[in-house]
Amino acid sequence: MATAKFKMPKISQSLMKGLSEYLQGEECGLVFKEKYVTKKMEFTPSDAMRLGIYFEYKATGSLPRNGIAPEPDVVYKGTAKEKLAADYERAEASAEFYKALIKLWDIKVLHTNYTMETSTMKGIADLVVEWNGKPAIIDLKYTGMIDDKWSEFGWHKDFLSQKDGLMVQGVMYKILAKETLGIDDIPFYFWVFDSKNPLNVRVIEEKVDEHRFGQHMDAVMNAKDYIARHVKSDTWQANPSLLRCSKCPLRDNCKFAVDYPLIEEVYY
């Protein structure tokens, strides 16, 4: 049955990304529902996400959403040789490089993890700063795909403007800044740090064409309508796969979970 009392979630960049993945068959509808609609379950971050959370904590001092300071992985634990695991050593080096850039460019950090919220949308800016005497938003990324051209998550400049899943964040945050801070077309930057090499950093200012704002608001309203219809009909579709199900926190109580590869059909 549909949820008796339903409160429409605020549309965030991550919700829109999750809905897009579900509609493309890359995510399970039951997971999307639990994560973004009912919000009944906390999902454990992946190793890559944990590393990014640690980097941001060491760089800015801001705690993750759960309010708990992240702990690094160590090697030779409990021995005289105990030290940070190599990937966490690189994360700390990248955090120090971030601090050096903030100092070099004389950037004043006004807010960290700053929530911007309207009646429809919500976003949390990693950093609201004053840069060259003007307010700006900086979003920190910590990734192993900084030089990847072809992945939808790759940050190489070639084709980056075509990667809606990445670029939509700047559009949304510019809209939110205008509506909540009264700043029209606030400068928005991605600071992308390479998880494999602390000296490989890309600073990207996202310039947004005017027509993108209208397109984005249409997409937000379509997302709201889609969620409302599917909550009413309770027609979220499971999308099981061996790999997805093996890591899914819902699997123990999910009648659709599989522990074998499904047979796929290809027509030629």
pLDDT at 66: 82
Cite the beta strand spans of the chain per DSSP E.
74-75, 83-84, 108-117, 122-131, 134-143, 188-194, 201-205
Closest CA to 34 of 65, 63, 9: 9
Cβ–Cβ < 8 Å for 72, 88: yes
* Contact residues for 170 (Cβ-Cβ < 8 A; gap 6+): 139, 188, 190, 206, 208
CA–CA separation, 1 and 145 (whole Å):
42
Query: Where exactly are the structural domains of the chain?
Result: 44-210
pLDDT at 70: 94
pLDDT at 2: 46
**CATH code for the structural domain at 44-210:** 3.90.320.10
Name the residue with tokens 């709201």: 224
Q: Which two three-digit tokens encode residue 108? A: 């004043």
CA–CA separation, 28 and 76 (whole Å):
39
Low-confidence stretches of the chain (pLDDT < 70) are 1-4
Name the residue with tokens 């309770």: 234
CA–CA separation, 138 and 149 (whole Å):
22
CA–CA separation, 54 and 82 (whole Å):
19
Q: Which two three-digit tokens encode residue 158? A: 């070639």
- Type of residue numbered 27: E
pLDDT at 4: 54
Helix ranges restricted to H, 11-132: 13-23, 29-32, 47-60, 86-104
